[in-house]
Amino acid sequence: MEADYVVVGGGTAGCVIAARLAAPGRSVVLLEAGDERDNPYTRIPAGALHLVGSPAYDSPIASEPDPTAHGRRTIWSAARVLGGGSLISGMVYARGWAADYDEWAAGGARGWSWAEVAPWFERLERWHGGPAPRPGRGDAGPVYVAHARSPLPLAELFLAACEQSGLARLSDVNAPRPDGAGLAQVTMREGRRWSAADAYLGERRRDPHLTILTRTRALKLQLNASGNRCIGVYARRNGRELQVRARREVILACGTFGSPRLLQLSGIGAPGLLQSAGVKLVHELPGVGANLSDQVGVQATLAVATRTVSRRDQAPWRALGAFARWATSGGGVLASPIVLATACVRSTEGLADPDLQVQFTGCAFEGGDAGPLRLRREYAVTTSVNVRRPRARGRVRITSPDPDAPLRVEHLSLIDAGEVAKLVAGLRWLRRLYAAPAFAAVARDELAPGPALQSGAELEEYVRRSSFTQYHPVGTCRMGATDDPDAVVDPRLCVQGMKGLRVADASVMPFVPSANAGGPTLMIAERAARFVVEDEGGG
């Protein structure tokens, strides 16, 4: 099989790139290891409770034991389905702060400042459900964006408490500097999840210029005899191996774990790492798999004397009624995403900018990290807090030439004592929030951390034994200046020192922006497709 372009990975980024490139005179093959799934769980916003951790949709990746977190393993979701994370995530759409991108550009990713990326966010957005919240928001793009909604007044409860705690109320949490609290924004259309596959592939599935191969696992990149140009991909589909040749380029969109894995399996990476894994070095790039960045959060859970989303809603008679309402009107409890509202707060008074992010959930969960989320039975709400710009860095590495062998992921998530102190301060702020009049009127018991934990040492212990990933891993194929020896891709997302090969997904971010990663990934993919078109014929 041969095409002009081969896009590896049919997740959030891959759907964008494949759809944007496929056109008369330009053929594209999109490879996705997972299947295509379209059912009520993938349409219902609340369906994420059943998707994350489910083997049919997700292939979770576990880190090595983290000594900074009592030896616990971080479990990252890794979607294995057409549409990727956009099909199983909590649907939050966030751009991040303008300063995030200005710092990307200042660090060597020229062309990625806020002024340069903002038009691309606007291009992909289609505000849905009322007038755009402010100028500069898109209203004609393929990605439907709306305020989170719920039939229960829980978000209003949270926002009222935030105002009583001194935060400004925001009409648009995706403003360039969202200092305050506001309704979360989600990728949803008329009460239904709107994935990247919906947004970009929906009208292109019959396009003769686009071939979508699901259940097709990329095994290794095919390089030319000199090892300086990528000419295709070796893959496995339904148990049979095949070769997909690229006349022009291969674009990796396998995500923060998949893209460095495929590069390393192909002999592109750090010499010592590849040697230890039994892979012959073809092209030295020390940064492949390094610079893993993720936001780590902790949460405070409050039992309340008002209805929330709980396990009681999963009783057969309630679930049937909720489904009927959602199916007929796109409303009701099933149209409620997990995150209803967000805020940015300061761990210490007097800071110029907030250094903590807060996300409010109109429900509470129990159990561990692995497997689908399980709702508590009692009525409760949960608010999580994380550091906006975490400094901790990890790495991703293969352990064998076998593409089916597990990755080794190392991430000392709480190695920075200052960030642990910020999380402790964030927990104290959440307690003050729950004591505000709006919450005090309905508050019952503090379920977590629990009233017994009061001292700084006790709360630090709680942070280290209960912290969790916010599912925003990025950075393992970091972009940077062409003379940066640790950068994997240049600012046009070309792999350093290679021809015919780019990476375009969350792995290229220099660090995790002050946001969920889905929105920035869409923006990166839009720009990547434009770069490819602009560079056609350039060798």
50 is an active site residue: no
Structural domain includes residue 173: yes
**Residue 237 burial (10 A CB sphere; 0-12, 13-18, 19+):** middle
Structural domain includes residue 451: yes
Q: Is 399 helix (H, G, I), strand (E, B) or coil?
A: coil
Give the global pTM: 0.96
- Nearest 5°: phi and psi at 525? -65, -40
Q: Is 444 helix (H, G, I), strand (E, B) or coil?
A: strand
Average pLDDT over residues 496-520: 96
Q: Over pLDDT 90: what percentage of the chain?
A: 85
Residue 39: how many CB atoms within 10 A of its CB? 9
Q: Is 249 helix (H, G, I), strand (E, B) or coil?
A: strand
Structural domain includes residue 490: no
Structural domain includes residue 303: yes
Give the span between the Cα atoms of 41 and 48, in whole angstroms: 7
- Nearest 5°: phi and psi at 246? -115, 120
Listed residue (185, 196, 95, 91) closest to 146, CA to CA: 185
- pLDDT tens per residue, range 211-255: 999 999 999 999 999 999 999 999 999 889 999 999 999 999 999
Give the span between the Cα atoms of 151 and 529, in whole angstroms: 39
Average pLDDT over residues 362-385: 81
Give the span between the Cα atoms of 37 and 401, in whole angstroms: 30
pLDDT grade, residue 129 (50/70/90)?
confident
pLDDT grade, residue 319 (50/70/90)?
confident
> Does residue 373 have a pLDDT over 80?
no
Residue scoring higher pLDDT (48 or 385): 385
Retrieve residue 184's tokens.
């979360």
- pLDDT tens per residue, range 271-298: 999 999 999 999 999 999 999 999 999 9
In single-letter form, the type of residue at position 414 comes to L
**Tally of structural domains, the chain:** 1
> Does residue 307 have a pLDDT over 60?
yes
Tell me the residue ranges of DSSP E strands in 388-450.
Answer: 394-397, 408-411, 443-448
- pLDDT tens per residue, range 45-61: 988 888 888 888 999 99
Listed residue (272, 274, 270) closest to 285, CA to CA: 270
Listed residue (154, 462, 182, 436) closest to 310, CA to CA: 154
- 266 forms beta bridges with none
Give the span between the Cα atoms of 202 and 243, in whole angstroms: 27
Strands 188-189 and 185-186, bridge-based pairing: unpaired
pLDDT grade, residue 515 (50/70/90)?
confident
Point out the catalytic residue in the list 128, 147, 411, 472: 472
> Does residue 371 have a pLDDT over 90?
no
Which residue is it, tokens 């400094």? 391
Please state, in angstroms and as integers, the Cα–Cα distance from residue 414 to each residue in 253, 292, 382, following that order. 29, 14, 22
> Does residue 164 have a pLDDT over 70?
yes
- Nearest 5°: phi and psi at 382? -130, 135
How confident is the model at residue 539, as a pLDDT?
47
Within 8 A by CB and 6+ apart from 347, the residues are 355, 356, 421, 422, 425, 426, 429
Structural domain includes residue 235: no
Structural domain includes residue 269: no
Structural domain includes residue 85: no
Strands 181-183 and 216-223, bridge-based pairing: unpaired
pLDDT grade, residue 537 (50/70/90)?
low
Structural domain includes residue 337: yes
Is the backbone of residue 228 left (phi > 0), alpha (psi -120 to 50) or beta?
alpha
> Does residue 377 have a pLDDT over 90?
no
Are 477 and 488 in contact by the 8 Å Cβ rule? The answer is: yes
Which residues span the domain enclosing 177?
A: 149-183+296-387+415-466
Average pLDDT over residues 338-365: 95
- Cα-trace Rg, the chain: 22
> Does residue 175 have a pLDDT over 60?
yes
Output the average pLDDT for the chain.
Answer: 94
pLDDT grade, residue 316 (50/70/90)?
confident
> Does residue 390 have a pLDDT over 90?
yes
What CATH code is carried by the domain that includes residue 424? 3.30.410.40
Average pLDDT over residues 461-468: 96
Give the span between the Cα atoms of 100 and 46, in whole angstroms: 30
How confident is the model at residue 119, as a pLDDT?
97
How confident is the model at residue 372, as a pLDDT?
58
